[in-house]
Amino acid sequence: MANEQSTGDSLPTKVAAAKPDPAGALTTDVGNGGELHQRDSGTPLTTNQGVPVSDNQNSLRASTRGPTLLEDFILREKITHFDHERIPERIVHARGTGVHGVFELTESLAQYTTAKILTEVGEKTEVFARFSTVAGGAGSVDTPRDVRGFAVKMYTKEGNWDLVGNNIPVFFIQDAIKFPDLIHSVKMEPDRGFPQAASAHDTFWDFISLSPESLHMIMWAMSDRTLPRSLRMIEGFGIHSFRLLDAQGKSTFVKFHWRPRLGLQSTLWDEAVKIAGADPDFHRRDMFENVSAGNFPEWDLAVQLFTEEDAAKFPFDHLDSTKLIPEELIPLKVIGKMTLNRWPNNFFAETEQVAFCPSHVPPGLDFSNDPLLHGRLHSYLDTQLSRLGGPNFHQIPINAAKVPVSNNQRDGHMQMSQPVGRVAYEPNSLMKDGPRESTRGFRSFASAENGTHARIRSETFADHYSQARMFFNSQTAPEQTHMAAALVFELSKVEHPHIRETMVSHLRRVDETLAQRVATGLGMKKLPDPFPTDTPAEDMPPSPALQIIGKMKDTLQGRAVGVLVSDGSDSALVNAITAAITKAGADFKIIAPHIGEVELSDQSCLKVDGQLAGTPSVMFDAVAIILSDDAAAKLLKEAAAIDFVRDAFGHLKAIAVDAGAKALLDKAGVQADAGVVDAGNAAGFITAAKTRQWDREPKVRNLP
């Protein structure tokens, strides 16, 4: 029997009845949250004190959907140990790029919150944003298939607000107690120290195959979202539901979204791999060059606002971080704009030492009962104590609030301030003007928690496939193909057949055609049975807002075009093409067989930005090739020139060519199509360059 429970943070829910283990016989079991447990099949799992652990999947909560309890010593020990595994490099998000900027509120949320940053229209707030990969170390490359961190520190009038999220709106797990296991699985395998910054290996997919809750995130991870063209062209999400509180303490739930004004754009997998070889710092360099040139990237801040009553009608649980709220269900409301306009003075002092904590919020914001969020509220602060030497990390300039800090915290490692006076406690009668509580201070939402005090997961968290299916069905045909190809590539690196088979059995719950495409790509003779579940997927309406290709902006702004020239190149064509690129809002770089200058047909000299062998076409969104006949004849024997053309065509880019360049295309075996434009047609080239030539893709590679 399941009994009804109600919590102060949510909908009525059902608590799954406990499933007794057969006497010592159970090795695996689908638990109350739908995840696989492994019991009594090996050495007992214990705490560091030798205490056997009965549940390694669920944090201790006050009620089924209630808050996580500080009492949970197993959760705290596990995450605390995990947070301190690396010194001083971040364990996750180690490779990052940070930029200073400003946030301006354009629409007030005064009816929902007292937070001044969200109520004072026109107010400009200093920010520091850090973008990062997740899995790799600080010395890894910029362009692996990986989630991107998107963290923003806002130095508000009421203290710092850290909005710490990713470029994907959901996460792999539902409960923070599983986070160390997730990251251990995706990091380098401990017996061999590789692969670096890659999920294509056994331990990651073994964990995923045993964690059905991860299937929605896997669809995102295998999509083009994890191969961004630029950090200036990614979305950011706060992931969790937070609360806005008004002056009376009334709560409204909120989810935060950053939307890039340049629009979304991704690379292809083959392109990302080649970029990593050509420029491991591709994203960092792209951000640096654009900010330095005054091409300041901008994002709109949008919110989804909903009430407890709205949430009760959702066909999913908003406290489950593996779920998103489709925009078609709760539309986005744009309330402000962030502009990044200043590169750090020193990378280590700022980008490396910046400390983000989701627990840093100003008055007027509060937390929901999301169990993943509750673990993060502890974990991030604990991590800073290890990375930055102790409890005074907030005094490092990049972390310091822009408003006065006044409290009774004293001493500690790396104490930089010099508090005065004999009083370091409160209440006191000896310092009349000392720090005191304030009516404007932070207040928590008053909720009533009624339910089972236990390690148990709500049955409202049990649907692991419906949103995975929705995400896949929302994609354009090319994006679906890329997802299938990514799954084939990743799983082809897995040595153990049973892991591959289990993953395909999960995919059958998401989409039969996808599962068949992946199985065929892996050489499977037959499909495994669908993965057993008590909660099969339901068909949710597709959400076109989840696409990249379908909502790409018709623009070349913020992009880069490579112009390959030589001595004797037609000056009129070169000038016309570069003028058209500039007018379209894009940047261009002059590429030539040699560095220095080239002399064009009119004897004018043109500065060269990159030598051909070191500046391949993968660095650009489109290419123009304008060559003299003599130069073209020489380049027919140059592998870098053939690769320049072949890769541009294979990566579905627009190519402008003159007569000399056509010989190069012939040598590369390129069959001209609508994306190959005569260099004399600058306007036509710009039109073609604004998108990829998706119709070309089936002609240049075999896809599942």
Task: Compute CA distances 475 → 168, 490, 547, whole Å.
Answer: 15, 20, 5
Q: Which of the following is catalytic: 32, 37, 58, 93?
A: 93
Q: Measured at the alpha carbon of residue 390, what is the angle toward residues 385 and 396, in degrees to the nearest 5?
A: 100
Q: 111, 110, 150: which is closest to 132 by C-alpha?
A: 150
Cα–Cα distance list, 347 to 32, 402, 663, 702 (Å): 46, 20, 46, 42
DSSP string, 339-398: EEEE--S-IIIIIIT----TT---TTEEE---HHHHHHHHHHHHHHHHHTSSTTGGGSTT
* C-alpha 538, offset from chain centre: 26
C-alpha pair distances (Å), 186 with each of 90, 183, 250:
15, 5, 41
Exposed, middle or buried by CB within 10 Å (0-12, 13-18, 19+), for 332? Answer: middle
DSSP assignment, residue 166?
E
Active site residue 93: yes
Residue among 58, 160, 166, 167 flagged as catalytic:
166
Tokens encoding 226: 């994890």
Residues 6 or more apart whose CB falls under 8 angstroms from that of 590 comprise 563, 565, 598, 606, 607, 608, 609, 610
CA dist., res. 160 & res. 380, Å (int): 15
Residue 464 designated active-site: no
Nearest to 513 by CA among 665, 322, 333, 704: 704
Which backbone phi and psi does 336 adopt, to 5 degrees? Answer: -175, 180
CB 591 within 8 A of CB 563: yes
Q: Are 8 and 449 in contact (CB under 8 A)?
A: yes
Q: How far is CA 366 from CA 40, 228, 240, in A?
A: 40, 32, 11
Helix (H) or strand (E) holding 105: strand 96-105
Known catalytic residues are 93, 166
